[in-house]
Chains A and B, each alone.
Chain A
């Protein structure tokens, strides 16, 4: 019998690689000051729906670390931890929305939407917090920093979330096996 743990590990590795590649498919935006719209979230959500939230969180965490190793913008010791590994790791929690009883059929589009929206919301909170730390450290007192941080982060995360939802739903429509094949095998074993 094949060691399932090893397969999951390798799937995480390959999804991490794809996420890094997708981070280079960018829709450039004038507000792209370190944040731009990319497909980076898609592989993380796919593995989260396929193998559960633990695999999703691991993939996100590794994606963040690898981005750092490939050259990151580090301006504050806490900022780099929450803006790289943590920001992507929380996306994996979308896997919480897909329970074991989905392994016999395709994951409903509503659950995908919920999961992606939930993951992106957590990422938003994370970047929002990083923005507050950034301004707390670097901006003079008395600026409306919370408003600025919220508007700026939402300006690229909302379009990115919408694109990700559409693409993940389309993928699940054309290839529902992605999300239940592995789980069915697991439960049969």
Chain B
């Protein structure tokens, strides 16, 4: 059942993008999303694609993984393209077959929308392909720390997220173990009536929850025994470091955005 499960997309590596600070990557992706939404001309999209190719080369990620990440959205993109191509009636008529007439404006509109979706999914998947969830969590914690003044428990939220990420492999192993143990006792997860199957799942879930609650309690004891008492003044094992590389990347994205602004119609 879980043999082929790969949770998350992150691919470890040593490329320029991998070595960037998670904070600068988050900021750059955020800016790029705004830039993608701003663009509305062929020249602008041409430049954006050039930028995307450059970022792709800097990421060192094989195209296979990007294609895999983008596959679920692909149908949606084609669907949206067809909708626009068929229903926008502007410009010259290109082709006319039966009741369907393809206008130049419709094709252009459809391509723009498809490009926008592709670029958005491309940039955001590169972020998760080159940044580990734990680094992203640390970055989010730092970004949201100023909100502490308004009562947002940034440290606690980051702690819970880190623990969840850390224990996902452990919980996954435990799930596999319980599946095997219950199968040995005769539980069948893939056959039987609807009622039998949901009972088999309950036989999996109950021990899983019991173990998870027990583990939470044990971990709380262990943390207290080591003197954990909240966020104030805690030091960190993993430190994010902002280097010249990050400043350069952010500056490049800002300059790129300013250039593209002049290509708007």
**A interface with B by C-beta (< 8 Å):** 2-3, 6-7, 9-18, 20-21, 24-25, 33-34, 39, 42-43, 46, 58, 62, 65-66, 69-77, 138-140, 142-143, 163, 166-167, 170-171, 174-175, 178
A64 to B7 Cα, complex, angstroms:
14
Query: How many angstroms between the C-alpha atoms of A24 and B88 in the bound complex?
Result: 39
Q: Are B117 and A75 in contact (CB under 8 A)?
A: yes
Q: Is the interface of B mostly helix, strand, loop or mixed?
A: helix
Minimal beta-carbon separation of A60 from chain B (angstroms)? 12
Residues of A within 8 A of B75 (CB): 33
Chain B residues at the A interface, C-beta cutoff of 8 Å: 1-2, 5, 7-10, 33-34, 37, 69, 72-73, 75-76, 80, 83-84, 87-88, 109, 113, 117, 120-121, 124-125, 128-129, 133, 136-137, 140, 156-157, 159-161, 163-165, 167-168, 171-172, 175, 198-199, 201-202, 205-206, 208-210, 212-213, 215-217, 219-221, 223-224, 228
Min distance, Cβ B53 to any Cβ of chain A, angstroms: 20
- The reply to whether B87 and A142 contact each other, CB–CB distance below 8 Å, is yes
| A167 B201 Cβ-Cβ under 8 A | yes
Given contacts A2-B224, A20-B168, A42-B205, contact A13 B87 (CB under 8 A): no
Q: Check if B164 sits within 8 Å of A62, measured CB to CB.
A: yes
C-alpha gap A72/B157 in the complex (Å) = 20
A17-B168, A75-B120, A163-B198 known; A70-B133 Cβ under 8 A: yes
Report B-chain residues with C-beta under 8 Å of the C-beta of A43.
Answer: 209
Known: A9-B156, A175-B210. A18 touches B76 (CB 8 A): no
Contact of B121 with A75 in the complex, beta carbons under 8 Å: yes
Residues of the B chain whose Cβ atoms lie less than 8 Å from the Cβ of A62: 157, 160-161, 164
Inter-subunit contact A77/B216 (CB<8 Å): no
- Knowing that A14-B171, A70-B9, A71-B69 are A-B contacts, what are 14 other residue pairs whose CB atoms are under 8 Å apart, sorted by A's residue number? A2-B220, A9-B159, A10-B223, A11-B216, A13-B161, A13-B216, A24-B5, A34-B73, A70-B128, A71-B129, A75-B120, A76-B120, A139-B80, A171-B202
Give 8 closest A-B pairs by Cβ, nearest first: A13-B163, A10-B216, A71-B9, A140-B87, A70-B8, A16-B164, A13-B160, A69-B133
Chain B residues within an 8 Å CB radius of A24: 2, 5, 7
Kindly identify which residue among B5, B117, B220 contacts A10, using a CB–CB cutoff of 8 Å.
B220
- Alpha-carbon distance A46/B202, docked complex (angstroms): 13
Return 7 A-B CB contacts under 8 Å, by A number.
A10-B216, A12-B160, A20-B164, A65-B161, A69-B8, A75-B121, A140-B88
B201 in contact with A20 (CB, 8 Å)? no
Distance from B50 Cβ to chain A, minimum over Cβ atoms (Å): 22
* Chain B residues closer than 8 Å to A170, beta-carbon distance: 198-199, 202
- In contact, A14 and B216 (Cβ under 8 angstroms): yes
CB distance from A113 to the nearest CB of B (A): 15
Chain A residues within 8 Å of B113, by CB: 138
